[in-house]
Structure formats: structure tokens, C-alpha cells
Amino acid sequence: MSPPIYVEWRSVSRESSNTGGLEVTTPSEFLGFAVGDDHRLADWPQVVDYMRLLDQESDRVSTIEIGKTTEGNPFLLTFISSPGNIANLDSHMETQRRLADPDKISDSEANELIADARSVVAITCSIHATEVGGTQMSLALAHQLASEDDSRVRRILDNVILILVPSLNPDGLIKVKRWYDATRDTHYEGSIPPYLYNKYTGHDNNRDWFMFTQAETRLVVDRLYNRWRPHIIFDIHQTRSDGMRMILPPFVDPVGPNVDPVLQSELAALGTHMASELTAAGKSGVAVNVVYDSYSPSRSYSHYHGGIRVLSEAASVRIASPISIDRTQLKSDRGERPTAKSWNHTMPWTGGKWSLKDIVEYDLIASLACLDSAARNRDTWVGNSFKVLRRAVTKQGNPYGYVIPKEQHDTGAAQELIEVLEFADVEVQELTKEVQHEGLALKPGDHLVLTLQRFGTFAQTMLETQKYPDIRHYPGGPPKHPYDSTAHSLPLAMGVTAHELNKPIEPLPRLTDRRKQASFCYDQVFPEASAYAINPKSNASAKIVNHLLAAGFQVSRVSHSLHNGSELLPPGAFVVESSQQLIESLRDACDGKFADISGTDFKPVANAIELRTPKIGVYQSYVPATEEGWTRFILDEYGFQHEPVWDWAIRETDLSRRFDAIIIPHQTVRQIQRGFNQASYSKRYSGGLGDAGAARLKQFAEAGGTLIAWDGAARWATRHFDLPVVNLLAGLTHSDFFVPGSLLDIRVDTQHPIGYGMPSNAAALFMNGPAWRVNIGKSIATYSKEKPLLSGLLIGSKKIAGTTAVAAVPLGKGQIVIFGFRPHFRAQARGTYKLFFNAIYSSVMSNHQGD
Ligand SMILES: [Zn+2]
């Protein structure tokens, strides 16, 4: 144990840095207020300017912009280290690159590199933008390291390259600051903004660390993680106000089964060290090993890339407004007992005032403790990280790898899966000749992902199915709630076939690097064809169709299967009459996509239902809902035009002229019905849909519209429209039935327009949603009668077996399509996208077939 590194927090409001350090502008000189002052937040442009100013004023600091955020704001990395290290960043990055390639260097080369390497620490702030403390603290941290010259700061600068990410969500800071300032000195001061603080993902923006769909995730993975391979990522968050003052690792069980034990131990050691340094600095209420697990890779990229992610969760205030909490108001929750002294919570907080300055102090002490450990134990951090990667390329376990066959239901989905793996620096190879193995005939062009590679644990974690442990509060008691979803198997989620190899392929056939295919969908013109048919099996078909509809082409869907030369297209193929203009438009539409398009002599007029561009409304509650954001993300990505429609607009207007389909994304029944409370938000933002909104939506459907709702929204609709369906899971306790985010096996009616293009079996991401018996209407997908669980945790299999997962229920001249699962969960559940897209298209097909 190192001696206490920090006795008391030095106020960042000091007028100048006069401890023998370097003259650099202080945050308070720059901002006009001290970091952490009540009611004051540095805005993103100020943070950007300050980090750039430090770059100019100090040779310890280098600030670079690595790209733009989702909404076009600059995204920054600020490197802080000794002047010598800063002058040689390229050479240090090269050292990191070579050490992360353990099969390409000898032991002696490795030892030389380790002796020369620095610990690389990334501190990432305020990805959840209402958790403002991290970003505000980053100014104080940068200033302290740039200006002070004591032995600890010098040790850190010499031994550590700090890559400070002052905000992982700059757009969010701008939005939160704007809302906070607008509500200052009103009754609503300190409330959370009534919109998502990240355009598409809101609070889910830290659930994207394996799918890499968002601009910010892609920047950080590409420009920071994959280039710098940080040994430590310290990720700064905040949580509820009335629990612990700060929570640090070790995380609670279960740990991801493929995370290297060395990384798990280091994580526990560092988290505990940081907690002890906070305690030594007199900061009470610090706990380890409560609430948070690290099972899902969606929140922990580094655990599968030779590093660790330390999460801190400080108690929040009301954005930047202080609060006062009496000890008796502290609440126990999820195993967290803020008033109880214990081995993992050595000095409980006794209550009182709690302010942004407290959060900034805790974050700053934790950051410096983290950096000092990285500095003092530089060779251990660097050496162990290398050992982990070296073990990954030398110690073969079972499974040996995965084959992703070329032949797929949706070729584009398989391509996307491979791109996800490659983005995470997993090596994917292509078979060059036929191989018989474990009863499989592997073919040239099939892709092979071996687990014996440096990031093989990432590949395995994403490609295998999950067996999430059944952990109870006490023997025979209710199950413990996992922190996040329990299933992330990409082949299942994306509807891709992959085979696990349980024996080594020997001799390994010659492999080539994967050939990058620009697109698959359209490589020839069919001069004789009277029309073109777009196979509905690929998700990308929706992109092509929406492009053609927007360009004014007449697109129809064929309701039966279509023989086209040697190919049999399933029901639901899209057909469009051939013309020179069409051929040109198809060429544009197909760029970079993987759809299956062929010439046909089929006449679109016969046995086909004409489509038109659907007019789509997306219900937008003022209570921010991540599923609403993801819905817009997917609609934008696939070229569906849409408009938001708020509570008041639904309550007060006739919607039938404006929209063909209205989507009600998952949210709790209470949030949809009641919205925010009027005591906490003004009239404009409170109230929810209420009975008036429900009546309007019902009218909309009865007049011929299509409503689409899932999970909580489907519960809301079945209740408020009195739908002729029965939720067979209603009233069950978690001991009877519990599925906190698992992939379940569904059987799909592919003859029904909403099932068009789907395989007859698919995996659906289910999260304690409803499951029905349908009395009137059409059941389009049902859970497997035999074994519904494919991946994750399922308690009470018999309760859901054989029940309805997706139904179309007639409402007057229109219909409502209800899903019990999440059809596009976090842009991960791509195998069920088509059900969602088809529900939208069904709104503009003349017969709803909702019988
Ligand atoms: Zn958070």
C-alpha cells in the first residue's frame, strides 16, 4: 500500500499556480467561477477552449480534436504527460502497438518494450451528461497536472500517459447546461431535461461498446482504444443521491466468463486502492463491490482488449444545485446499505449538505489515486497487460473458433457481424478450400474466426451463447437482478448462422485475409427483365425500397412465393418495373449494401400490393425514453421518413390525416399514461398521454391507421384499448418468471405480411415483457413450445412456452401490431428488424390481414 497521496483537496480557485509549477491559466481565471461552484457549469465550448489553451500554455498538454459528435460538435482528447513523453507521443503509441501484437515480438523484444513503455490511462468523463461532475472535474485535473511540480505530479507525468476525454458526450453537456440554465431560479431548477441528452441513445450511450453504432463510440474505439490500448480506463459516472457517496470496483458477480483473471484481479486491486485513498483523504461513504456487475460487454470493451475499466459512481446532486440529505433519508437498494459500516464500506457518510463541489472532489481524488497507482506500478501494469495478450495467442482452449458460412438467410447481416468483429480488431479469415470438420462441410468463402488470437476473448464472447448464472438473494429466494441484459450473442441477435468449433481444424487449411466486398446486391443489369425483384430476406432490402419509394418508383410486394429462374423468393418480395431510370437509381441505392436483387419477368400488377412511402409518427414522451431514440436511429439508418409526435399533439389533434403508422416505443405504462408529475415539470412537459391521448390513438387506428407498440407500450395499449388479448405473464413474481434481457426462440408465420422475409425461427430479445393469448387477431410469432431460451437467463420456461410474441389485432378499419419483446433493441437485435419494418409497410398495404 502506498502512503496517502492526497491529504486535502486544493481549491482550483487559487489565483495562480505558485507552487513552483508552471504558469498556466487556472480554470477559475478562465471561467470566472471555480470548478464545482454551486449553480455553475462550464459549457462544452468553454471546456474545448480551456483544453486548447492548456495545449498552448503547457508542454505537458496536447489537445486534439478526433472528429465530430452525432450533432457536429468537436470531440476532444487531451494528452497529459511529461514534456518528454508529450514530444514523443508517436513513438509511445508505436510501443503500445507492438506490445499489443504479442505473437509478432520475441520475449527479449517484449522486455525491452515493457521497460520503455508508459502506463496508459484513459479517464473518460460524463458519458451520461446529467452526471455533470466528471467533465467539470476534468478542468481541475488538467490544470493540476499541467501546473504543479510536487513529487507525485512528477511521478505521474514521467510514468503515465493520461488520455483525458473531458466528455464522452459533448452534445449532452450542451443540452443539459441549456436546460439547467433555463430552469435556474424557477420551481424546476435541477430537474433532468425532458428529452434525451444524446440524440439517439440517451442513457444507453454506454451500452454501445460492442455494436459500435454511434459516432462517439466509433471515435473512441478507433482513435483511442485501438490505437493506445490503455491499461486502465477510468470511467466517471454518478448515481442516485440517497445511497453511497461513491461506488468503485471490484464489481459484484457475475464476471464475464471470458475476462482474463489477471484483469479481474487488477480491477479489484485498483478499485480498492482508490477507495482507500478517498477514505485516507477523509471522504466518507465510499463503497466497493456493490450494485454494479461487469457481465455485459456492451459496457466494457477494455476487458476484452487487455485493459480494465474502473467505474466510479458518485452520489448526484440536482445537476449543479446542492442538496441536503439527513442520514435517516439514506436508502438501501440492490444490496447497497449506505448507513451500515462493513468491510466494503468502511466509513459511512453521516448526511448533510452535498454539492457539485463534493462530487468534483471525490472524482479528483479518485483520478489522482488511479494515476498514482499507474505511475508507481508502471512496469506491473504494462507487463501484465502484455501477459494477458500473450496468453491469448498461446493458450488454446475450447471453443477453437467459429465458422460463419457464406450461405446465409441475410448475407448483409453476416457482413455486418464480421465488420463488428473487425472494428474491434478481431482477425477474420476466409477459407480457400472445402474442409470436412465435425460433420460440417465448410466451403471456400466461409469465414473463420479463431479464438487463439490476441482479442479472441472478445470474439468468443460475441459469438458464443450465454449461460447466465441463476443467482438468488438467498437459497430458494427471488433472483438477483442483473445490472444489464444477460444475452449478447451476435449470431442469434443478428439472425446469422455460425458454427462453434469444438475440435481444432488440423491441418488448418490455407486462409486468406477476408476480401472486402463493397456490395453484393447489384452487380449486373438484366436487359431482358421486365422488372426487378428485391429479396425480402435481407434487412437492407428496406433501405433499397425506401430509396426507390422516395425517388417516386412504384414498388409492390408479392404476397406469394416467386420462382425466378433457379431462385425461389419467399412471400413478400418487392418488385419494381424495369426502366433505364430504375437501373440508375438501383445502382445508387445499392451502394455499399448487401441485398439480393435479380431481374424477373414478373408483372408487378398481378398478385402484388402496391406500396407507398409510409407517413410515420414516432410517439415522443417528455419522459426521455431510450427506445424512442433507438427507434429514430434505426428509422434514419434505413431511410424511413418520420416525425415526432408529442403527448399534447396526440391529445389534441386528429392524427389520421397526418400519419399512416404511429410507433409507440417501449416505456413504462405509467410514464406513457401520466408522463412527468406536474409538481416537478411545467404543464407543457407533464401529464403523459392520459385517457384523451389513448382515445385519440384508438380513433386513429379505427379510422384505418396502424399502431405499433412493444413491451411497456404494448402493455399500455392492451390496457387502454381493452384489446382482445390476455397477458399470460401478468401477476407472476420474479421467482415464477424472470427474463431480464435474454434471447428467446420464436416461430414466425412467414406467410403473414408482418412475417415476410423472416426465417421461420428467430431469436427475440425479451426483457420481462408481456406474452399473450390472442382471442381476436393474428398471432404472427410465438415462443418455442419446447425450449424458449437460446441465450441468457430464463426462469419459468413453461410460463412463456408457446405464447404469442407478436400479434396484429384489428381495431376498426385499422390495426395495432404488438410485440412482447424489443424488436430492434439497441440496434443489436437485427434479426427481428424485419418484423418491425413489415409492421410499418403494412400500414400502407391496402389489406391489413388483421383477421
Ligand atoms: Zn452513468
- Dist. CA 125 → ligand 1 center (Å): 10
Instruction: Check residue 320 and give its pLDDT.
Output: 98
Spatial separation of the C-alpha atoms in residues 171 and 770, rounded to whole Å: 35
More confident residue, 494 or 299: 494
Please determine, for residue 451, whether its predicted confidence score (pLDDT) is greater than 90: yes
Cβ 203 vs Cβ 128: under 8 Å: yes
- Dist. CA 599 → ligand 1 center (Å): 51
Instruction: Check residue 250 and give its pLDDT.
Output: 97
Q: pLDDT tens, 653-670?
A: 899 999 999 999 999 999
H or E segment at 448? strand 447-450
- Dist. CA 161 → ligand 1 center (Å): 25
- Dist. CA 712 → ligand 1 center (Å): 23
Q: Give the confidence band of 846 by pLDDT, cuts at 50, 70, 90.
A: low
Please determine, for residue 779, whether its predicted confidence score (pLDDT) is greater than 60: yes
- Dist. CA 314 → ligand 1 center (Å): 9
Q: Which residue has the cell 443540452?
A: 175
Report the 10 Å Cβ neighbour count for 528: 7
All three cell numbers of 748, joined, read 414466425
Spatial separation of the C-alpha atoms in residues 489 and 471, rounded to whole Å: 21
- Dist. CA 239 → ligand 1 center (Å): 6
- Dist. CA 92 → ligand 1 center (Å): 31
Q: Give the confidence band of 58 by pLDDT, cuts at 50, 70, 90.
A: very high
Task: Determine the average pLDDT of the residues in 805-830.
Answer: 98
- Dist. CA 214 → ligand 1 center (Å): 17
H or E segment at 262? helix 261-280
Strands (E), 33-73: 61-68
Q: Give the confidence band of 521 by pLDDT, cuts at 50, 70, 90.
A: low
Q: pLDDT tens, 118-177?
A: 999 999 999 999 999 999 999 999 999 999 999 999 999 999 999 999 999 999 999 999
- Dist. CA 128 → ligand 1 center (Å): 5
Please determine, for residue 203, whether its predicted confidence score (pLDDT) is greater than 90: yes
Q: pLDDT tens, 667-714?
A: 999 999 999 999 999 999 999 999 999 999 999 999 999 999 999 999
- Dist. CA 176 → ligand 1 center (Å): 14
- Dist. CA 838 → ligand 1 center (Å): 35
Spatial separation of the C-alpha atoms in residues 339 and 316, rounded to whole Å: 17
Q: Which residue has the cell 495467442?
A: 393
- Dist. CA 129 → ligand 1 center (Å): 8
- Dist. CA 131 → ligand 1 center (Å): 6
Spatial separation of the C-alpha atoms in residues 805 and 558, rounded to whole Å: 25
Instruction: Check residue 510 and give its pLDDT.
Output: 65
Helical H runs in 518-566?
Answer: 540-550
Give percent of the chain above pLDDT 90.
Answer: 87
Please determine, for residue 225, whether its predicted confidence score (pLDDT) is greater than 80: yes
Q: Give the confidence band of 11 by pLDDT, cuts at 50, 70, 90.
A: very low
- Dist. CA 171 → ligand 1 center (Å): 15
Instruction: Check residue 90 and give its pLDDT.
Output: 98
Please determine, for residue 543, whether its predicted confidence score (pLDDT) is greater than 80: yes
Q: How far is CA 107 from CA 101, 347, 453, 456, 567, in A?
A: 12, 45, 17, 21, 55
- Dist. CA 203 → ligand 1 center (Å): 7
Instruction: Check residue 530 and give its pLDDT.
Output: 87
Spatial separation of the C-alpha atoms in residues 190 and 146, rounded to whole Å: 32
- Dist. CA 313 → ligand 1 center (Å): 7
Q: pLDDT tens, 607-634?
A: 789 999 999 999 999 999 999 999 999 9
Q: Please give the model's pTM, rounded to 2 decimal places.
A: 0.95
* Preceding peptide of 250 cis, ω within 30°: yes
68-75, long-range: CB < 8 A, 24+ apart: 68/215, 69/169, 69/170, 69/171, 69/215, 69/216, 70/171, 70/198, 70/199, 70/200, 70/214, 70/215, 70/216, 71/171, 71/199, 73/44, 73/170, 73/171, 73/174, 74/48, 74/170, 75/170, 75/216, 75/219
Task: Determine the average pLDDT of the residues in 273-284.
Answer: 98
354-358, 453-457, 562-566, 742-746: lowest mean pLDDT where?
A: 562-566
Instruction: Check residue 1 and give its pLDDT.
Output: 35
What is the average pLDDT value for the chain, to the nearest integer? 93
Instruction: Check residue 849 and give its pLDDT.
Output: 39
Please determine, for residue 520, whether its predicted confidence score (pLDDT) is greater than 60: no
- Dist. CA 187 → ligand 1 center (Å): 25
- Dist. CA 730 → ligand 1 center (Å): 31
Give the bridge partners for 690, in sequence order.
none
Task: Determine the average pLDDT of the residues in 36-57.
Answer: 98
Please determine, for residue 519, whether its predicted confidence score (pLDDT) is greater than 70: no
Please determine, for residue 19, whether its predicted confidence score (pLDDT) is greater than 50: no
Q: pLDDT tens, 312-349?
A: 999 999 999 999 999 999 999 888 999 999 999 999 99
Q: pLDDT tens, 398-426?
A: 999 999 999 999 999 999 999 999 999 99
Q: Give the confidence band of 304 by pLDDT, cuts at 50, 70, 90.
A: very high
